[in-house]
Amino acid sequence: MEEDFFFESNEDAQRSVERYEEMLRNKDQYFFDSHAFEYIVDFYIEKNDPVKALQVVDFAISQHPYATVFLIKQAHLWMLTNNYDAAFLALQRAELLEPSEADIYLMRGNIYQTKERFDEAIENYQKALGLAEITDEILLQMAYVYQSMSDFESAIKYIKLSLEQNMENQDGLYELAFCYDVLDKQEESIKFYEQYIDTDPYSYAAWYNLGNSFHKLDLFEKAIDAYDYAILIREDFSSAYFNKGNALVQLDKFTEAIEVYKQTFEYEQPNADTYCAMGECYEKLEKMDEARSYYKKSVKLDAKMADAWFGIGVTLNFEERYFESLHFYKKALDVEAENADFWFAMADAYYKLNQIEESVKAYEKVLEYNPVDIEAWLDYSTVLYEQKKILEASEIISEAIKHNPDAAELYYRMVAYLFAMGQQNEALSYLETALNTDPDKHYILFEYLPQLQDNRGIVDLISRYFR
């Protein structure tokens, strides 16, 4: 039995799915027009059921063998199921039927892009551009390919062309910001978004990306103004509230930042990042109970939030609860084992607990992961010096200088250790290097070993740099 069924309205479109499923149950064959078939295919794609969608496409092709739309959809579905050869074959059939159909080359470009055959992707997108009436999405796809090729200048060119076609394309605005960020061209980014806003002052995405560019240049007041405009245009823009909060933190306006972070909860579910950021604000305000409370809320939502585990440890350290803090530093390290800041905190806590061996091991981890942390080198050497291991302390500073040859603090510290070992001539040589590097930091030497203020050789050498 055959039954004609023609697509006329949304009700008919929904009914077409019901009729199709009825046909399957009855093991029968009905006729559907091409519009109805398109709706049925899209229905199963949206339900994330490519197998059923392919079945519909096969049936549609049997009834409409010259409709290229179904061959293109078939190629799309084969691509989704990683059957690229079948996808290319479907597009080849479509091209024989209708070689001027832009979607054929657009879909082929998509497949080549997925397979990381970027030159062939670009070639097909160029063909699609020459045939399509609306080209903004094709231009954006080309930009994505150039991003994948790490050619961000070309990506910017095509995103801008896409935006000229469709200024409302939010994806393009965000992708452009990403490309400028990768190229570290925040000034160019600012210039573009300011010009864009002159044309479209009610684009919340443009204001938001402008704010982000100001933020990356440490222009936090300007960033906050831009975020405020984004929020004014779109009141429920939670990302703008969050980034505004981050900018306020950079200005040490922690109480204001907390209030702004709280506003995000009016428009989205609380998340671990926001709770963690609020915890850091309370920590900076030295309200450790509140800070710990928000850090705990953060890890409850996301046990992989290393900064929040670390934050709990920091609040306990502040309260001189060093042994307890170690537990939470370890939880943070379970997530980020190579985080030098976490190891530094561990080293300090072990030192305060007089667990010197463990402290030394932790300092070695800090310097393994971050050999340019001058404070860590200095503190590590201090631990050794206090254990009367002066030679080892000097060797640590010698290693530190190899990694940080311009750090005057290290040379001044080496002077102290060499004097402590009685190596006065070598000490004076290091002092000269320190003074040549940064004479104004000579006070470091006397802070560490005040008795050196009575050393005539040192005082005379320093005085030469301040005549």
pLDDT digit string, tens, across residues 401-440: 999 999 999 999 999 999 999 998 999 999 999 999 999 9
Residue 267 phi/psi, 5-degree rounding, is -120, -10
DSSP 227-274: HHHHHHH-TT-HHHHHHHHHHHHHTT-HHHHHHHHHHHTTTS---HHH
pLDDT of residue 21: 65
pTM: 0.79
Rounded CA-CA distance 317/334 in Å is 19
Tokens of 250: 């950079």
Place of tokens 């370890």: 330
pLDDT of residue 15: 72
Contacts of 96 (CB under 8 A, 6+ apart): none
pLDDT at 81: 85
CATH architecture for the domain at 399-467: Alpha Horseshoe (1.25)
Please work out, in degrees rounded to the nearest 5, the angle formed at the alpha carbon of residue 415 by the alpha carbons of 376 and 381: 25
Please report the pLDDT score of residue 3 as a whole number.
Answer: 40
Tell me which residues of the chain have a pLDDT lower than 50: 1-9
The span from the CA of 343 to the CA of 134, in Å, is 55
Domain regions of the chain by residue span: 399-467
DSSP secondary structure string, 73-84? HHHHHHHHTT-H
For residue 22, the model assigns a pLDDT of 63
Question: Token digits for 43?
Answer: 């229905």
The half-sphere exposure of 432 on its side-chain side, counting CA atoms within 13 A, is 6
Close Cβ partners of 71 (under 8 Å, ≥ 6 residues apart): 61, 90, 91, 93, 94, 97
pLDDT value of residue 7? 41
What is the pLDDT, as a whole number, of residue 5? Answer: 41
Question: For residues 243-260, b (16+ Cβ closer than 10 Å) or e, as one string?
Answer: bbbbbbbeeebbebbbeb
- The Cα–Cα gap between 194 and 198 comes to 6
What's residue 6's pLDDT? 41
Question: Which residue from 26, 45, 84, 36 is spatially nearest to 64, judged by alpha carbons?
Answer: 36
* Amino acid type, 321: R
pLDDT of residue 13: 61
Whether the CB-CB separation of 30 and 2 falls below 8 Å is answered with yes
Alpha-carbon Rg for the chain, nearest whole angstrom, is 33
Q: What per-residue confidence (pLDDT) applies to 40?
A: 79
Q: What is the model's pLDDT at position 406? A: 93
Contact 198, 175 (CB under 8 A): no
